[in-house]
Amino acid sequence: MRSATTIAFKRTGSENEGKPPEQDPGNDSAEEKQEAPILRPDHEAKDIPLITVANMGNQTFREPQSTKEKLGHRRIDEQGAVSYKKVPTNALMQAIQLGISNSIGSLASLPNRDVLLQDFEKVDIVAFPAAGSTITPSHSFGDFRFRTYAPIAFRYFRNLFHIKPADFLRSICTEPLKELSNAGASGSIFYVSQDDQFIIKTVQHKEADFLQKLLPGYYMNLNQNPRTLLPKFFGLFCYQSLGKNIRLLVMNNLLPQTVTMHEKYDMKGSTYKRMASKAEKSKMYPTLKDLDFLENHKEGIFIDPIALDTLMRSISRDCLVMESFKIMDYSLLVGIHNVELGIKERAEQKELSCGEVRPSTSRDKEKVEVTLSKDSGDRNSDEHKVLQEKFSVWDTLDGDVPHGGVPARNSNGDRLVLYLGIIDILQNYRLLKKMEHTWKAILHDGDTISVHNPNFYASRFLSFMNEKVFKKGTAHLAATTPL
């Protein structure tokens, strides 16, 4: 592997996290209009192009520039209705469901076979005329086309992730999707399936292209590193209508909404301006950053040594893959459910609703109890503070914990369940390509700057997780923590 030269650049603002201002929104395919810039709402007016119909025939229209709020392609009008690339998200959602349903359904009729290298590059296209066709139903969302990227490869991935076609269809296509309001800084639309299992996210053209290039390496990582923390990609699709392409990535939902995340961290291993904004912190469940973690968890989070070793080895293998694809700027997302707080909260809720005859159907409660079933029952909430379990942070759990919910403790001895995953692995490719072509490599701050060369980024990321975030839950802990 080549160890690339160090690339860095100057920051322009605290919220930009080292991302250079977007200069050129990129040349999309002829079928697609130029993508509006992300992260630059001040430039939006200039960048909204006249929408002309490129692939649908004979219509042309101009939309009034009356958007109330816009971030990237995502707009909210005066009535609060959300649109993406000016397609109302509600209609978009239903068209997507139609498209995915058709795609998965027709795939199910094909015999199972091995994935070939060539499958990663394949794209299936199906036309959905509003009037219906021999293979598609009639609908009210206007003529559109629906592309399925690498259908056989994603079928293989879904299979590896134990997602059955019928379950996938039921989750994504049967009930309406929930649209997430906190779309984040990227200006993407996020849908979540009713059962909370899947996220459908709009991605940029270059992100989709990059994912396709990444697929063989992604396949290899899944094969060799089955505990990988990389996102689970279940499908990549594209809705095409009126000259617009909206690309959709179906992923796992890392932080189940049914489990209360008492803390949430997005960590990159950098300390340079890595602190959540005041606005973010004022939210009920803010997403905090590296410096916030160091402040809140001065001693780190304690994990069973064997589980820690497994976890760090998986992260390290993931980092190697990302380095080999020159990916940077990814984060480790850590959702922390505090078991003791959860118990207290449920007790308070029970007290509040004491008079009422309220059956315990609360979804939240059930889910948490399922997650923690091994631990409930025969322990009282104080007992755990005696950290006598020398080499196991929770003595009721095996070393073989699923990476979706890693048992841990904070320095107070509270039992925690960690939801971990590496996120934002596609965005930076676009950024990097730009940097290589248009940005001068300036070394800013060799040790703290967030965006750097992939090798440096990966090793700093790993060191931070290994030294600051996760600690071995060993015997000495009892001595150093206040009981």
- Give the footprint of its own copies on this chain (CB under 8 A): 1, 113-118, 216-217, 219-221, 223-225, 317, 320-321, 324
Closest CA to 301 of 394, 434, 388: 394
Q: How far is the CB of 134 from its own copies (least distance, A)?
A: 23
Tokens representing residue 353 in the block: 């609703």
Q: How far is the CB of 88 from its own copies (least distance, A)?
A: 38
Nearer Cβ to its own copies, position 119 or 266?
119
Nearer Cβ to its own copies, position 109 or 282?
109
Separation between Cα atoms, residue 120 and residue 97, nearest integer Å: 23
Nearer Cβ to its own copies, position 213 or 281?
213
DSSP secondary structure string, 270-328? --TT-S--HHHHTSSS--EEHHHHHHH-TT-EEE-HHHHHHHHHHHHHHHHHHHHTT--
Nearer Cβ to its own copies, position 228 or 371?
228
Do 130 and 221 touch, CB atoms closer than 8 A? no
Q: How far is the CB of 228 from its own copies (least distance, A)?
A: 10
Nearer Cβ to its own copies, position 258 or 324?
324
Nearer Cβ to its own copies, position 160 or 185?
160
Q: What Cα–Cα distance (Å) separates residue 301 from each residue in 105, 134, 137, 338?
A: 44, 57, 53, 12
Q: What Cα–Cα distance (Å) separates residue 213 from each residue in 174, 216, 429?
A: 31, 7, 11
Q: How far is the CB of 221 from its own copies (least distance, A)?
A: 7
Tokens representing residue 78 in the block: 């005066």
Separation between Cα atoms, residue 206 and residue 176, nearest integer Å: 28
Closest CA to 408 of 294, 287, 286, 307: 307
DSSP-derived 3-state class of residue 359? coil
Count of residues in the chain? 483
Nearer Cβ to its own copies, position 224 or 373?
224
Q: How far is the CB of 428 from its own copies (least distance, A)?
A: 18
Cβ count near 140 (within 10 Å): 8
Cβ count near 3 (within 10 Å): 10
Q: How far is the CB of 230 from its own copies (least distance, A)?
A: 13
Nearer Cβ to its own copies, position 17 or 119?
119
Nearer Cβ to its own copies, position 119 or 375?
119
Q: What Cα–Cα distance (Å) separates residue 416 from each residue in 88, 178, 280, 371?
A: 40, 28, 23, 11
Do 66 and 78 touch, CB atoms closer than 8 A? yes
Tokens representing residue 308 in the block: 């820690």
Q: How far is the CB of 443 from its own copies (least distance, A)?
A: 26
Separation between Cα atoms, residue 260 and residue 340, nearest integer Å: 12
Nearer Cβ to its own copies, position 184 or 216?
216
Q: How far is the CB of 312 from its own copies (least distance, A)?
A: 14
Q: How far is the CB of 54 from its own copies (least distance, A)?
A: 27
Q: How far is the CB of 306 from its own copies (least distance, A)?
A: 19
